[in-house]
Structure 1
């Protein structure tokens, strides 16, 4: 039985073509590709690549300036943060949330809109494996080229489960019986109709957006569409800790807001989604609300009046 794509590059002694991540005494990282006969140069001296070729991971090498560097293969989170970029990358903390909360499983059939620099595509491909399917759509040909190079550099070859199309999702989506759809784009609400047609019942759509305006419109569009259950929205923040003797405290810097995530599940055809059983906050749908469902000023004024008077704007638990 052959190994999954890229697995051979993740274990064993260093080989020509492997990515190597060096860590200096101050914890700084340097990433390069092993080539026979080449040398790695820093302001602290140099050493030949041949010194690492055939050596096990976790080897310590010393430069001509007698500075020690720890050599390891970069983890996927390290790789995506150091890869060449066209667009901003999806941070590992968000990619991990997408893999978990969108329930990406081996063999899954996944559609991705917005490839960027290939960060999330790489995470998705490693999760679905060679037997899955990832069809990625990217509007910009220059971004698609950078993403393809980054993905193939990580796996060491083209991935058999990946198809990359240059063009808009809503204009080009032909996939059917899709398990998951990931939308990393400026206006994911424009793709909801196309996504609903592609997803299987129980399938998940997951949108990654940057601003509260995008978040609100995406959630409201999914609610109004009628083919999805109540969307869930959240963000994650990552804070590392300093631990040294009795000095145990949060680090001064953290990865705060990078984006919002929204997930919703596809209902079976012909099923009406259950009504929400919570009352909106007073003023949530006031006269200045212009989102989905705001068909007239009179309608929004009536909604605001019901909220202000405690009227049944929505079904309650009572």
Structure 2
């Protein structure tokens, strides 16, 4: 039964959702009259309640994917479609020790906390205290209190001291390449690193930085698109709520200590590391450039 103090999601006949906290005697006001919380408290999930103006609402406990996109926020959230891929591609498992940098409003934190369970550890690092506070409230609201496996630190990942070794690391920050050295030291051998970046420029630079370090495997990059569909009688078409680009995921694995990943045999595209390129140069590309410079020097006499 639904109890006072719980959060529920109410959905109208047009599909508009709203999360409310049940309080005895309180009324939720809509454009078509009030909805009494007492009509919900003590009832099972899946009921239909009606405002005094005749507007009907479905009532359920909130699903995680619904809560992630409707919860209060100060920073942009990682949407469920990307969070689901991060959980799978980074192979986050129950009991895992995970390092997260860039908490935002706590959406991905919630997804990972549900996955690792009470026996795991999620160490989240956020530079801005106001973002961290919003994330803390969102997590505690959905979990009904503090999560036993969550540690939230305020500060810069590049500057804080990491006491633990981690199975997985997820970076959602502007310049993840600045923290790759620190993350490589904190990850166990075979551990996975996932970077979430917004632009192709960021994606390219973080991938080249991983290649240049040598202690990571060849990185893989992807983006996720989800397409809703509308089906009613003969009217079958893509939905209006299709979610296309939100960000890129870059995923790699940590090599064993002292072991460098084999250099790629595939040659980069012509001009990929031309005179205008200012980022890190992968080891095999650097060797090719040195050999090309030697050839030009010999030709010039």
* Same fold at TM > 0.5: yes
- Cα distance between partner residues in 2 of 1:227 and 1:302: 22
Matched, 1:138 2:133: no
2:170 to 173, 178, 182: 182
Give CA-to-partner distance per residue, 1:170-204, whole Å, 9 cap, x none.
11141332100110011100000100110000000
- Cα distance between partner residues in 2 of 1:207 and 1:291: 17
Matched, 1:160 2:155: no
2:93 to 91, 95, 105: 105
In structure 1, the partner of 2:139 is 151
- Cα distance between partner residues in 2 of 1:303 and 1:98: 39
- CA deviation after TM superposition for structure 1 residue 111, in Å: 0.6
Matched, 1:83 2:45: no
Give CA-to-partner distance per residue, 1:17-54, whole Å, 9 cap, x none.
21111111111112110111111111111121111111
The secondary structure found in structure 1 opposite 2:256 is coil
Give unmatched runs, 5+ long, in structure 1.
Answer: 1-12, 307-318
1:19 to 7, 25, 32: 7
- Cα distance between partner residues in 2 of 1:26 and 1:278: 52
- Cα distance between partner residues in 1 of 2:292 and 2:16: 55
Over aligned residue pairs, what C-alpha RMSD do you find?
1.9
The secondary structure found in structure 1 opposite 2:260 is coil
After TM superposition, the score normalised by the length of structure 1 is 0.88
1:267 to 255, 259, 282: 255
Give unmatched runs, 5+ long, in structure 2.
Answer: 295-301
**How many residues were matched structurally?**
292
Q: Is the contact made by 1:196 and 1:266 (CA closer than 8 Å) also made in structure 2?
A: yes
| Deviating more after overlay: 70-79 vs 245-254 | 245-254
In structure 1, the partner of 2:193 is 205
- Superposed structure 1 runs of 4+ greater than 2 Å apart: 298-306
1:1-318 matches, within 5 Å, as: 13-293=1-281
The secondary structure found in structure 2 opposite 1:269 is coil
- Cα distance between partner residues in 2 of 1:305 and 1:237: 43
- Cα distance between partner residues in 2 of 1:181 and 1:111: 5
- Cα distance between partner residues in 1 of 2:291 and 2:131: 44
